[in-house]
């Protein structure tokens, strides 16, 4: 068996009290509960220890039955980031793990290769946080549920890590291209529009700084937690991936994901 000497840990926050889809982590997608599918994708990435940070014994029991590791945290924590930090404080008080990937518990279709790419980008000292983005589609432009990212790419090269300047539910940047077929202008001439994929790679110190901050004005306005980091002067790096992975928030989302699993 390979000895794991990684300084990266994947923490999957999950809670039962989802307002739009109660009991969401234990709803089945494919042959297993959603949280088990997410845990499997994290294990398949093979980049470090994997922990499910949950709010009670229901989720913990399911993960432990699969042979996984679960930490029960305070059910009243305000966010997934707080839940991740609370789990880390329990299992790693000496801060052995310097890199933390926050993988949301409602992303059963997460691809392990995206987690590998995210982890690789964390080796850069230029950013406090790393997150994936994918090219926006025309259908997504005016959807409030799709978070858009404004990204500046070094030398207009999306194979490098870009600088995520802002996030919004509104269509940004103004006049941006959705893809090269939608405009005669290439992405090197005009900024592309990017769909933010809500997975975060953190430097441990940046996560601790973040959760100590109060919600910021832009965060409250857009209802986007990552804007707190930007307003605090933290740098968010973006990596381009070839498709957006979206979370499951409603019964319709669940039914669509279940159909896609049936086809694989």
- The span from the CA of 50 to the CA of 43, in Å, is 7
Give domain limits for the chain. 1-110, 124-244
**Strand pairing report for 32-33 and 28-29:** antiparallel
Q: Among 3.40.50.720, 3.90.550.10, 3.30.1180.20, 3.30.70.360, what is the CATH number of 124-244?
A: 3.90.550.10
Query: In this structure, what token pair is assigned to residue 28?
Result: 């089945």
Host H or E run for residue 201: strand 200-203
Residue 57: pLDDT band with limits 50, 70, 90: very high
- With beta carbons less than 8 A apart as the criterion, state whether 55 and 129 touch: no
Q: DSSP string covering 148-159, please?
A: EEEEEPGGG-TT
61 Cβ partners below 8 Å, 6+ apart?
A: none
Query: In this structure, what token pair is assigned to residue 211?
Result: 């959760």
HSE of 199 in the Cβ direction (CA atoms, 13 Å)?
35
Residue 245: pLDDT band with limits 50, 70, 90: very high
- The span from the CA of 88 to the CA of 94, in Å, is 10
Alpha-carbon distance values, 129 to 35, 193, 198 (Å):
24, 20, 12
pLDDT in tens, 89-119: 999 999 999 999 999 999 999 999 999 999 9
Most distant CA atoms of the chain, gap in Å: 55
Would the pTM count as exceeding 0.85?
yes
Query: In this structure, what token pair is assigned to residue 56?
Result: 């009670």
| Topology alike, domains 1-110 and 124-244 | yes
The pLDDT of residue 186 is 55
Which is higher by pLDDT, 185 or 242? Answer: 242
Share of the chain above pLDDT 70, in %: 93
State the fold for domain 1-110. Spore Coat Polysaccharide Biosynthesis Protein SpsA; Chain A (3.90.550)
């Amino acid at each position: 068996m390979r000895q794991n000497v990684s300084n990266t840990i994947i923490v999957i926050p999950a809670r039962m009290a989802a307002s739009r889809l109660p009991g969401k982590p234990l709803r089945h997608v494919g042959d297993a509960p959603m949280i088990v599918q997410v845990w499997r994708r994290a294990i398949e990435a093979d980049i470090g220890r994997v922990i499910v940070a949950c709010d009670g014994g229901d989720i913990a029991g399911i993960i432990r039955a699969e042979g996984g590791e679960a930490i029960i945290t305070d059910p009243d924590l305000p966010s997934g980031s707080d839940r991740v930090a609370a789990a880390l404080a329990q299992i790693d008080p000496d801060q052995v793990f310097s890199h933390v990937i926050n993988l949301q518990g409602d992303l059963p279709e997460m691809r392990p290769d995206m987690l590998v790419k995210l982890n690789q980008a964390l080796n850069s000292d230029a950013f406090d946080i790393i997150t994936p983005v994918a090219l926006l589609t025309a259908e997504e432009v005016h959807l409030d549920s799709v978070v858009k990212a404004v990204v500046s790419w070094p030398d207009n090269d999306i194979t490098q890590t870009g600088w995520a300047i802002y996030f919004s539910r509104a269509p940004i940047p103004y006049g941006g291209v959705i893809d090269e077929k939608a405009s005669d202008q290439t992405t090197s001439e005009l900024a592309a529009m990017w769909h933010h994929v809500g997975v975060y790679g953190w430097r441990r110190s940046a996560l601790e700084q973040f959760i100590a901050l109060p919600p910021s004005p832009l965060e409250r306005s857009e209802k986007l937690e990552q804007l707190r980091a930007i307003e605090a002067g933290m740098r968010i790096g973006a990596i381009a991936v070839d498709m957006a992975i979206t979370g499951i928030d409603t019964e319709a989302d669940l039914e669509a994901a279940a159909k896609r699993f049936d086809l694989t």
